[in-house]
């Protein structure tokens, strides 16, 4: 073999791995938009990754996840959603509160959005209907608001002499007015008064851990809405509100 032909063959062989790499499909990316912080809910993130694994997708091997967390600051969600859209992710998982779903919905009308919501997605305009959601969003609606009467009823059983219920809500939540109305209606049916406490983040929540006005022993209870209130997982609010 002539020296020139050998060099040509060697040069072509060296390029083979580069061509092979160029032909490999790009790893799909899932955009994950969270209103709070996924690190605070490790069991949910474990379930998310586990289900991906069961369907054949392993993070870092054949799928990547782009996390965007608002850390409880609702005003950050539109910009974070825009980042995922600019990243051109093929799908966005929006969770950690209905505000993340609304931010994703406002950022794109083409990228599919999968959401988890404790608030009525039809009333909020996220989907057209439960049977035919339409648009680019679909997901799971957990009927938390329909449970307000049951939740307050359980609190009443725990403290049957209670006459006031302290309700801790996040005023920046898009469903704030609906939550407050449902809770007030349920409390009225039980014959108890409500005292609404508003907190959008940990800084606003801490000062609320003080006795309520005119709140004696066994007169006050606390009812929060899972996923929407910074009080979730902070059990010390109950005894301190009741003293």
| pLDDT per residue rounded down to tens, the chain (243 residues) | 444 543 343 444 444 454 444 555 678 999 999 988 777 778 888 989 999 999 999 999 999 999 999 987 888 999 999 999 999 999 999 988 888 999 999 999 999 999 988 778 888 889 988 888 889 999 988 766 667 777 788 887 887 887 877 777 777 776 677 777 778 888 888 888 877 777 776 667 666 655 555 555 444 555 554 344 433 333 333 333 332
Domain range for 231: 145-241
User: Is residue 9 in some structural domain?
Assistant: no
Q: What is the pTM of this model?
A: 0.59
CATH code for the domain in which residue 161 is found: 3.40.50.2300
Do residues 130 and 186 share a domain? no
Contact 205, 199 (CB under 8 A): yes
User: Is residue 236 in some structural domain?
Assistant: yes
Do residues 150 and 130 share a domain? no
Question: Residue 180: which of 223, 126, 135 has the closest Cα?
Answer: 223
How many residues does this entry show for the chain? 243
User: How many CB atoms are located within 10 Å of the residue 35 CB?
Assistant: 27
Q: Which residues contact 194 (CB under 8 A, 6 or more apart)?
A: 164, 165, 166, 167, 183, 184, 187
Q: What CA–CA distance (Å, rounded) separates 170 from 179?
A: 10
Judged on CB neighbours under 10 Å (0-12, 13-18, 19+), 66 is middle
Do residues 155 and 133 share a domain? no
**How many domains does one find in the chain?**
2
Do residues 124 and 231 share a domain? no
């Amino acid at each position: 073999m002539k020296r020139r032909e050998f060099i040509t063959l060697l040069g072509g062989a060296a390029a083979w791995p580069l061509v092979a790499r160029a032909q490999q499909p790009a790893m799909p990316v899932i955009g994950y938009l969270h209103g709070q912080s996924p690190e605070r809910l490790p069991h949910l993130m474990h379930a998310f990754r586990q289900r991906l694994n069961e369907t054949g997708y392993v993070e870092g091997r054949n799928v990547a996840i782009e996390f965007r967390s608002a850390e409880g600051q609702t005003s950050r969600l539109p910009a974070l959603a825009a980042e995922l859209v600019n990243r051109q992710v093929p799908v966005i998982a929006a969770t950690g509160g209905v505000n993340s779903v609304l931010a994703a919905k406002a950022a794109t009308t083409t990228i599919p959005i999968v959401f988890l919501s404790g608030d009525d997605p039809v009333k909020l305009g996220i989907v057209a209907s439960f049977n035919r959601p339409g648009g680019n969003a679909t997901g799971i609606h957990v009927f938390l608001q329909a449970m307000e009467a049951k939740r307050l009823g359980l609190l009443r059983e725990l403290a049957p002499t209670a006459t006031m219920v302290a309700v801790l809500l996040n005023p920046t939540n898009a469903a704030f007015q609906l939550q407050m109305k449902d809770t007030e209606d349920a409390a009225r049916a039980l014959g108890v008064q409500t005292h609404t406490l508003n907190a959008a983040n940990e800084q606003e929540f801490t000062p609320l851990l003080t006795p309520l006005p005119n709140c004696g022993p066994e007169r006050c209870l606390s009812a929060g809405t899972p996923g929407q209130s910074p009080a979730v997982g902070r059990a010390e609010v109950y005894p301190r509100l009741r003293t």
